[in-house]
Structure 1
Amino acid sequence: MLAAFLDDIRDADLIAPRRLAGRLRLPLTQLAKLARVNRNTMTARPESPAVQAKLGEIARIIARAAELSGDEGKAIIWFRHQPIAGFGKTAEQLVEAGEAAAVLWTLESMDQGVYA
Structure 2
Amino acid sequence: MERKTYERFVEDLKRSATAAGKPIIDPKLFARALSMDLQALAADAHVHRVTLSRAQGTEKLQGFLRDALQVLRVATDINGDFRHALFWFRNEPISTFDYLTPEQLVSEGRTQDLVRYLQSLKAGAAG
Q: TM-score normalised to the size of structure 1?
A: 0.85
Between Structure 1 and Structure 2, the one with more strand by share is: 1
Cα deviation for residue 49 of structure 1 reads 2.8
Give the alignment's Cα RMSD to 1 decimal: 1.7
Residue 113 of structure 1: SS of its match in structure 2?
Answer: helix
CA distance 1:33–1:71, change in 2 (3 Å): same
Where in structure 1 do 4 or more consecutive aligned residues deviate above 6 Å? none
Instruction: Tell me which structure has the larger Cα radius of gyration.
Output: 2
1:1-116 matched pairs, under 5 angstroms: 1-10=5-14, 11-12=17-18, 13-87=23-97, 88-113=99-124
Unpaired runs of 5+ in structure 2? none
Paired residues, number: 114
8 Å Cα contact 1:2-1:67 kept in structure 2? no
Unpaired runs of 5+ in structure 1? none
Q: TM-score normalised to the size of structure 2?
A: 0.79
Cα deviation for residue 82 of structure 1 reads 1.4
